Structure 1
Amino acid sequence: MIKYFSLGAQKTSKHCHPAAERNKEPILSTLKLYINKPNAKLLEISSGSGQHVAHIAPHFPSVTFQPTEFEKSSINSINAYVAESPSKNILTAQELDVRQPAETWLGGTIEQNSLDYMLNINLIHISEWACTEGLFKGGSYALKPGGLLFTYGPYAVDGTITPESNVSFDAMLRSQNPGWGLRDIHKQLVPLANKLGIRLKHFHDLPANNKLLVWEKETE
């Protein structure tokens, strides 16, 4: 599992992932190319420690961010970051199991075709395939036509994993859980997305051999 360091374990529930500190600015810079709608709604799936949403949200004051997580300790960490953030556009983190039907998420409060954006960072490679299916099914249900889903992490491309460090990372993940591992953009993710009316719009190479993929829900 990805390691984290607790900041003042006796006083706070905040987690701090060193990798999140390194990648939050490149992710933000890329999102700035796409997030431009006023009064928009963004649902973050698997918000982790909360470092990303706390860093990103203040740069988009007209967007309401809803962070979510499956693990209780992560929810507590996210809310600790939110409580310290000067930004007022981050809602309290909620529990969400991406494997469940999207119409049940957040107690059934997410309406169909209601979201402008969805964001998912570092889930696809370190979870079972059912989570990836749930993510794209959720995007198909919840995003408005033309809405964007952003996914970030390491990926395979046309059957190849590069560089060697990602090959080793993939092997390590699969040794921990055979259902984990780097997913192939064109062989696995694109076919899944296309079946659900979602198309790969762009992808960006980011530092540390990661990519940010931009998916768009088809317009009606």
Structure 2
Amino acid sequence: MLNAAAAERNKEPILAVLRDHVNTDRPLLALEVSSGTGQHVVHFAQALRNITWQPSEYDRHSLASIEAYRAHHKLNNVKPAIHLDASQPHQYWGGTQPESLDLVLNINMIHISPMACTEGLFKGAAVLLKPQGLLVTYGPYAVNGHITPQSNVDFDFSLRQRNPEWGLKDISFLSSLAQKNGLFMEKIVDMPANNKCILFRKESLV
């Protein structure tokens, strides 16, 4: 099992956001896009038993780690992890059916992947979420063209040095991308370590 220190630190603050904004009274279905090590999904699944979680990853080593966490915790509300490339159309997302999901969760992917993955995330979520379903993203972001504090400026620079397609995305850009796909930005929650949770709601047809 892989262990990421950042995931260990942020799993409880992110869970608090989910508790505040996700219905706990009825069965729900959630897809985590880019599940990383698997630490997040087992933590959330233990706390939110009404949600059936579908973890996913692009990286094969991470897929093995997610399965190791599943085997260790023996949670019946976590499905076997699927290979998912967020830059691909939703038809390649493990057979998830349109308008079948209540929640799509994406943690620390947007800034460390090509733009096609961010665009694919919003396109896929828009199709797969039920009306009024929720897309939750977490990570560091630029705000109206500005990155603060200096540690995030340095982080953005280091990401772009590693790969020109990486880097902190601006919240206004994500909001416009959401609108193009029938989602709207409902709330921004400030998080520890200069990160944010952004909540996007799928518009209802009514």
The reply to whether TM is greater than 0.5 is yes
Distance 1:137 1:64 in 2: 22
Matched residue, 2:174: 189
1:95-149 deviation digits (Å, cap 9, x = unpaired): 011111102210xx21111110000000000000000000000011100010000
Q: Find the counterpart in structure 1 of residue 151 from structure 2.
A: 165
* Corresponding residue number in structure 2 for 1:136: 122
8 Å contact kept, 1:124–1:132: yes
Residue 200 of structure 2 aligns to which amino acid in structure 1? Answer: W
Q: Is the 8 A contact 1:49 1:77 kept in 2?
A: yes
- TM-score by length of structure 2 reads 0.97
**What CA deviation, in whole Å up to 9, does each residue of 1:164-204 have, x standing for no partner?**
00000000000000000000001x11111101101000010
Give the match for residue 209 of structure 1. Answer: 194
What TM-score, normalized by structure 1, do the two folds share?
0.91
Paired residue for 1:28, among 15, 33, 40? 15
State the Cα deviation string for residues 24-66 of structure 1 (Å, max 9, x = none): 1101111101121511100000000001111111111111000
Q: Are residues 1:18 and 2:2 paired?
A: no
Alignment partner of 1:199 out of 171, 184, 192: 184
**Alignment RMSD, CA only?**
0.8
Aligned residues: 204
Which residue does the alignment assign to 2:136?
150
Provide the residue aligned with 2:45 in structure 1.
57
Q: Which runs of 5+ in 1 are unaligned?
A: 1-13
Choose 128-137 or 77-86, whichever is displaced more: 77-86
Question: What is the deviation of 1:153?
Answer: 0.2
The letter of the residue matching 1:81 is Y
Identity of matched residues, %: 51
Shift of 1:86: 4.5
| Inter-partner Cα distance in structure 2 for 1:147 and 1:120 | 14
